[in-house]
Structures are given as C-alpha cells and as structure tokens.
Amino acid sequence: MDAYVHRAEQLLQRINTLAAISEDQSCITRTFGTPAFLAGSALVKSWMETAGLETRIDSIGNVRGRLVSPQSEAKTFVIASHIDTVVNAGKFDGPLGVLLGLDLLEQLVQRRVELPFHIELIAFSDEEGCRFHTTYLGSKVVGGFFEADLLQKRDAAGITLAEAVATMGGDTQQLTHDAIPADNWLGYFEAHIEQGPVLYDRAIPVALVTAIAGQQRVEMVFKGMAGHAGTVPMNMRQDALCCAAEAVLAIEQFGQEHQQTLVATVGKLDIRHAASNVIPGEVVCSLDLRSADEARLTWAYHVLREKIEAIAQRRDITLIWNLIQQTAPVACDAALNSLLARAIADSGYPVVSLVSGAGHDAVPISKVAPATMLFVRCFKGISHNPLENVELPDLAAALRVAERFLTQLISHHS
Ligand code: HGY
Ligand code: MN
Ligand code: MN
C-alpha cells in the first residue's frame, strides 16, 4: 500500500477520534472553552507530546507543539488550523489541517531531520467565533493582534471572554506574551477543506489559495412593540419579526443580484420573549457579508445598511445595527505559493488556484507572516454540515503535497 494512504488512514482515524468529542452527542459541536473543547484540546496535546513536540496550551487555549532547530536564533515556521467547530459541524473543518501537520512533524522526528528553522504546530482555539461572535481569537493572540477590548465580549449566557479564559485556566495578562514576535516568523502553512464545490466538480484533489475573502459580521436588532396577537389590529402593529423577515429577503435578493462579487447570509435569527400569542416586539439577527474585493465589500455594506434602515423606518421599527467584526480580504504569499504549486505539480496533480470565500486563521496571520494554504477536495463542497467528507485518496494526496512542500522549504533554508 502507498505509504501516504497508510498515513492517511491514521490521519482519518485521529479526525474521527477527535470528532467523537462533542458538547452534543447527536452532532459535532466543540465551541470555545466548553468542557468538550477542553477535552479535545487535551487529546490533541497528548498526540503532540507522543510525537515528541515541546507542547503547551497557551493563555487563549491554543494547543502548541514545537519542533526546535539546533540553530537557536532560527525563525519559526507555523503549521496550523483550528479545532473549535460551528454547531452541528463536519469533522474535517479545522482538524484536518492540525492533524495533517501533526503527521508531517511525526515524520520529521522519526527521520531525525535537522531543521534549519523551528516549526510550531498550532491547534487554534477559536476560528469560528461561535461563542463570542468574533473570529480568530487564537490566531490573533499568536499573531500579536489580540485587542484587549475583546475580553469584554459576552456570550449568550452573559459570560465575558475574560471569565471564559480564566475558567479555562488561562491568564489574560499572558495574552500578549503568547504572540510569536513579528521578526521571528518565517511563514505559515494551513491545509483546509475547500468548503466549496470547485475541486469536487473538476475532480481535482488539491488546490492553491490565492486570496481569502474579506467579511463583515453584523448584529441587527429590530425593536417594535410586543402586543396581544388577538387584540391588536393588523394595521396598528409594530411587528419586529415581519420587519426582520422583509430584511432577510432583501439581503438574499441583494446577494443574488450581485452574486458575481459577493455573498450575503443571515444565519441566526432570535425572537426575544417568543410566544405564539404575542406579536414579536424584538428580533435579533445576524448578517454575514463577504467579498474578495475590499471596495465592493465596503460598498455592499453601506448599500445594505441603507436598504434595511428604510424597511425599518417604513414599518415604524427601530433598527440597532452593530458591526461585530470586519476583516479585509487578504492575499496569500506569492513565494510560498510558488513553492506549493511546485509541490502540487511534482506530486502529479494539476495546479489550480482558488479564492477562499471562507475565512481562515491565515487571515490574521498573513498580517505578520507570509501565508500559504492548501485546499483539499471535499464531498460536493459541503461544509458546516455533518455531511462534510474527504475521501482517503484525497487525504493521501494532501499529505504527499504538504510533505513535498515542507521538504522543499527545509532544503531551501538548509
Ligand atoms: O465563517 C467562516 O468563513 C469560517 O468557517 N470561520
Ligand atoms: Mn475552518
Ligand atoms: Mn468553518
């Protein structure tokens, strides 16, 4: 059997073992700081330790394993992805990149490769941002961009991020010290499922990522007037849900009209104090707006906000518009990408370049280090869904390409 297929089997086994650790036994959910998240982190830490890496969990819950070079002054190359998930997640989004990286480092240890630079494998703790609605908390700490005001963010239970960090045993005073200094970075590599249909449609196992789309995440609060469903005449209502519903459809229509350059999604909608015999007085919903073109993203943000404000005004509803998070589109590093392209070609696969509509931890890291990403085909491009799947031969292809890339990088710096 091809050595990479054998290693892919172990990789898949680990992905399945980690996937079994969830805060909900009916599906995969491991959100920042929960007991299931901590159990998953402990498992990944144990695998890193067994592989012979210097391992620790940092102040924001990242699991970090280092393979040091004999050249103490050498820079650090990071291989990473995330192990937190969305709700009702697939098992590859995040863990694939972390556990593929673990395999690569295991091989380096077994072959006693002398490294010209340090390598740090990182399982980031909060890429999805499900609990506190701000993404990249782990990678922002490692990149040195963690904004202290994030510590005041509250989750649905009113717990602050600072309290959650303390509960995890982290020290918020340590956050700035957990960054890799800007002048210490050599580069960043992340393998991740494509989460889109292109590779599946074209029957190609892997691809380069040229850029990662920018995103704006907004919380919209629609405030009307709660009332008795049986007594308030239809023409005298300030129905917050009907206003939100019209806004949701307006967002969908706007996204469809401009689908060549952007996507717009409402993924969450919460009716406050909901009851079947009460006219909804307050509704909170999310807006997720993305584009690979920064000017287009800014234009769309302002046009949509005006549209939704007009709907609210016409319906005599108060709209509170909270911009929760925004990240500009980022380009991956041309030099690392050409090395990765060569690894793909030398492995016998066509070299395809894609723009990522999904966000990744490479986004904050690319501000401080050259970043490159390898996309791996997934079933019909499905992700953020239990149907997410990667076939064994594609895991083997990703291992083959990633190992060739890392080998070339090591020889380039030796
Ligand atoms: O939402 C995203 O783009 C990523 O999955 N966090
Ligand atoms: Mn991801
Ligand atoms: Mn995701």
Per DSSP, the residues of 247-262 read HHHHHHHHHHHTTTT-
Q: Amino acid letter at 290?
A: R
CATH number at residue 209: 3.40.630.10
What region, left, alpha or beta, does residue 290 occupy, with left being phi > 0 and alpha being psi -120 to 50 degrees? beta
For residue 1, the model assigns a pLDDT of: 63
Ranges in the chain, pLDDT < 50: none
Give dist(CA 171, CA 131) in Å, integer. 19
Q: Is 135 in the pocket of ligand 1 (CB under 6 A)?
A: yes
Cβ atoms of 322 and 251 within 8 Å: the answer is no
Q: Residue 138, SS3?
A: helix
306 CB-side CA count, 13 A: 6
Question: CA 63: distance to chain centroid?
Answer: 16
Ligand nearest to the CA of 128: 1
CA 175 – ligand 3 centroid, Å = 24
CA 390 to chain centre: 18
Assign residue 310 the CATH number of its domain. Answer: 3.30.70.360
- Ligand 1 and 128: CB distance under 6 A: yes
Q: How many domains does the chain have?
A: 2
Nearest ligand to the C-alpha of residue 385?
A: 3
- Cβ 166 vs Cβ 391: under 8 Å: no
Q: Are residues 77 and 166 in the same domain?
A: yes
- Taken in order 203, 205, 208, 209, the sign of the CA dihedral is positive
Task: Please tell me whether residues 169 and 33 are part of one structural domain.
Answer: yes
Rounded to the nearest whole angstrom, what is the distance from the C-alpha of residue 358 to the centroid of ligand 2? Answer: 7
Q: How far is the CA of 357 from the centre of ligand 1 (A)?
A: 8
Domain boundary among 308, 327, 346: 327
Q: Is 178 in the pocket of ligand 1 (CB under 6 A)?
A: no
Tokens describing residue 77: 């190359």
pLDDT single digits (tens) 349-359: 999 999 999 99
Of 327, 359, 394, the residue at which a domain comes to its end is 327
In sequence order, what are the residues at sequence separation of 6 or more whose Cβ sits closer than 8 angstroms to the Cβ of residue 348? none
Residues 318 and 335 in one domain: no
**Does residue 106's CB lie within 6 angstroms of at least one atom of ligand 1?**
no
3-state secondary structure of 56: strand
State whether 75 and 139 are in the same domain.
yes
Say if residue 278 is in the same domain as residue 368.
Answer: no
The last residue of one of the domains, among 276, 293, 327, is 327
Q: Which residues span the domain enclosing 219?
A: 214-327
CA-CA distances (angstroms) from residue 198 to 257, 265, 357, 376, 401?
22, 20, 12, 11, 19
Same domain for 178 and 235, yes or no, is: no
Strand runs labelled E in 83-229: 118-124, 185-193, 206-212, 214-223, 227-228
Q: Are residues 235 and 288 in the same domain?
A: yes
The rounded Cα 355 to chain-centroid distance in angstroms is: 15
23, 97: one domain: yes
Claim to verify: residue 274 and residue 159 sit in the same structural domain: no
- List the beta strands (DSSP E) in 243-339: 263-265, 269-271, 278-279, 282-291, 318-327, 330-331
Nearest-CA residue for atom 4 of ligand 1: 359
pTM of the model: 0.91
Identify whether the C-beta of residue 113 lies closer than 8 Å to the C-beta of residue 155. no
Do 255 and 336 fall into the same domain? Answer: no
Confidence at residue 134, expressed as pLDDT on a 0 to 100 scale: 86
The stretches of 83-213 forming alpha helices (DSSP H) are 95-110, 137-143, 161-167, 198-202
The two tokens of residue 50 are 């067994």
* 56, 176: one domain: yes
Ligand nearest to the CA of 194: 2
Residues in a beta bridge with 283: 222, 271
Q: Are residues 229 and 323 in the same domain?
A: yes
